[in-house]
Structure 1
Amino acid sequence: MAPLRSLEKDYPLIDADFQGFCASHGILTVEDLLIHDLHALLAKADHLPRPERFRQAVNQVLCIVDGLHRPWLNGIELLRRTSDFNRVLSTGCGGVDSLLNGGLQEGQVTELAGPSSSGKTQFCLLAASTVAAMHLCCVMYLDTGNSFSSKRVAHFVSRVLGTTSEEDNSRSFQQAMSRILCCAVFDIFSMFALLHQLEAKLKSQVRGSVGVVRLLIIDSISSLISPILSGSGSQGRALMISAGALLKKLANEYNIAVAVINHTVGGENGFPKPALGETWKTIPHVRLMLSHDFGSKACHVSILKHISLRLESALFQAPGASTRFVIE
């Protein structure tokens, strides 16, 4: 959702007076307004010179939000969309691509969960490099923990292109490297701002042309969401839901692949499980669990969830299917 001030040009009710009153209550964005107690806010607005105009402005914001929801689609439309846009992006890791029937699927959110040093970031760097070098498409990489390594990416890009030097100055190498757009993000509000910028870019790009954004990676989503879930308030949970809804919207409406990293917490019988709880569990279309084989370079990946499994069981592996891979 956008800052309230960005709506004033197209929606005069959301004027400086409305924004000022909202700001005095810590409301600067549409997200802030949605998670606020609107009944309490409207009660306070009754003391304003023009309370009815304030109510109309609040209704205007709610109508804008309602307008963002996609219309109902019938079965034929859904089937046509699946046929038209069911494309996958190779990750550069043969074992994982085989497990996922080709790689990361456009239009879906894929979660990679695992403990520290399980290969999550290395896998994402390889996937970003492969998409940029092999598919000739742009990748937006949101780095939340200073884990992005340009040298590692250069190594992967050189390998995908079949060159021998990470210092390759060839045109194809330079172009591939320039297609990977890395942004440092350290809080969820910065992430929202960047995702809205991405949405504006996606609206203007022509599908199928060289250089369009086809992969979004967030490394990691849990490091942005976990801090806001502490405490007993509902604000953190509401922001998590908003973040998940926006990621699914970007994936679905603009047909890009979204990959997010999640850490793990203790589960039943001490076995690790993805963090962020049951509410977040419904967000990803695909959930993968990664781990590192003790005493070797091999990583292990298994499917926890895949939205297409029941629909296309002949094509996809069942939940629990797994493989090993090594990223050199």
Structure 2
Amino acid sequence: MSILCPGTCSELSTDNINILRSVGIRTVVDFLAHSPDQIANKCSFSHTVVSAIRRALLAQHASLVVSGSNIYHQVSQKLTILHTGIQSIDNLLSGGLLSTELTELAGASAAGKTQLCLAVAARTSLVPKHCVLYISTGADFSSERLRELMILSGSPQKNLSEALEQVKCIHAFDVFRLLEVLHNLPALIHNDSVFYAHLKLVIVDSIAAVIAPIIGGKQIEGHGLMMQVARKLKEIVVEENIAALVTNRVVQSDRNSIKPALGASWLHVPHTRILLTNQREDGTDHSILIRKATIIKSIRQPINLTTRFVLPGN
């Protein structure tokens, strides 16, 4: 709490401060809490003197007033929407993945989580100065599949090498390596590296592979490590203005249905959760694998929105 001191303005002299203190007005808050009329009557000050002191105190101690439209304009200029390369998924997400947000893809084995991650990486890297860091916790990353998806996106052959250079894959086979990568990431973004300076998307495929083995039972340290990963991921996406995409397994729920793994503590971490399932439909000549994506959590959209899609090349 700031005490009234001489020097803030010419009207706030030592004599005037003593007069104010004699009537119980000792701090900036005390002064501003009284109306100008009350101070003028109690201290026998002119309204001109009171108004001058009030303006000086507000200029020095009050926060700047910013309109909601200015805040919206500043935020919207910084946000980036990353298209996934699959139109129905983009429509489901109102355009695509949003920077400053963490999106989770949950599904059973072969539900298309890794393939969708590769599709997003391929589509993002085709945009100039849009780099992707792919953190693989298993052996699922395929550069050949990534190249195939770029070709299917309509990329000219001469642009493929440039796009491939905008994707970097790092393997993290345990939670400690994952934490190390995430911890070093902000420093890499702010150094002179061209790749990290243009980083737009971080993919972790899969988060459950390194977290699930260390939680549950008597492994009390596992929960703390999981929260460290969660905190670091959300810190990176917000402070560095990038998007994050992670994959998760599913487990059986009490109601005989499936739900994302990692328990209630992880529930608050993703801004958006998408559940992937398979639906096989018979075509004329062959069977086509149709996949279904359902939003089960979102901070921007209604839940239970659903779309069906086919992965490129399937």
TM-score (norm 2): 0.71
User: Who is 1:113 aligned against?
Assistant: 106
Flag the 1:273–1:135 CA change in 2: closer, same or farther, 3 A: farther
The whole-number CA distance in structure 2 between the counterparts of 1:200 and 1:136 is 19
Q: 2:79 aligns with which of 86, 96, 101?
A: 86
Other structure's SS at 1:204 match: coil
Question: Which residue type is aligned with residue 181 of structure 2?
Answer: L
Q: 1:305 aligns with which of 285, 297, 300?
A: 297
RMSD after superposition: 2.3
Any idea what the Cα deviations from partners look like across 1:70-110, whole Å, max 9, x if unmatched? xxxx9959645532333210010100000101111000000
Any idea what the Cα deviations from partners look like across 1:287-310, whole Å, max 9, x if unmatched? 11001113531110010111123x
Give the CA deviation at 1:118. Answer: 0.5
User: Who is 1:146 aligned against?
Assistant: 139
Q: Is the counterpart of residue 197 in structure 1 residue 184 in structure 2?
A: yes
User: Who is 1:16 aligned against?
Assistant: none
The whole-number CA distance in structure 1 between the counterparts of 2:137 and 2:168 is 14
Say if 1:133 and 1:161, in contact at 8 Å, map to a contact too: no
Other structure's SS at 2:126 match: helix
Q: Is the counterpart of residue 250 in structure 1 residue 236 in structure 2?
A: yes
Say if 1:99 and 1:322, in contact at 8 Å, map to a contact too: yes
Displacement over 2 Å in runs of 4+: 74-87, 159-163, 203-207, 230-234
Give the CA deviation at 1:230. Answer: 3.3
User: Who is 1:214 aligned against?
Assistant: 200
Say if 1:137 and 1:211, in contact at 8 Å, map to a contact too: no
User: Who is 1:68 aligned against?
Assistant: none
Q: Is the counterpart of residue 175 in structure 1 residue 168 in structure 2?
A: no
Give the CA deviation at 1:125. Answer: 0.2
The whole-number CA distance in structure 1 between the counterparts of 2:291 and 2:80 is 26
Tell which deviates more after alignment, 109-118 or 131-140. 131-140
Any idea what the Cα deviations from partners look like across 1:152-205, whole Å, max 9, x if unmatched? 101111222444xxxx4x2x1101011110011100110111112222122236
Question: Which residue type is aligned with residue 326 of structure 1?
Answer: V
Number of paired residues? 240
Q: 1:234 aligns with which of 220, 233, 237?
A: 220
* Aligned-pair identity (%): 33
TM-score (norm 1): 0.69
Flag the 1:174–1:211 CA change in 2: closer, same or farther, 3 A: farther
The whole-number CA distance in structure 2 between the counterparts of 1:114 and 1:96 is 15
The whole-number CA distance in structure 1 between the counterparts of 2:75 and 2:91 is 20
Flag the 1:75–1:241 CA change in 2: closer, same or farther, 3 A: farther
Q: Is the counterpart of residue 285 in structure 1 residue 285 in structure 2?
A: no
Gaps of 5+ in 2: 1-65, 282-287
User: Who is 1:37 aligned against?
Assistant: none
Other structure's SS at 1:232 match: coil
The whole-number CA distance in structure 2 between the counterparts of 1:234 and 1:106 is 33
Gaps of 5+ in 1: 1-73, 310-317
Question: Which residue type is aligned with residue 244 of structure 2?
Answer: V
Structure with the greater alpha carbon radius of gyration = 2
Say if 2:191 and 2:197, in contact at 8 Å, map to a contact too: no
Say if 1:136 and 1:210, in contact at 8 Å, map to a contact too: no
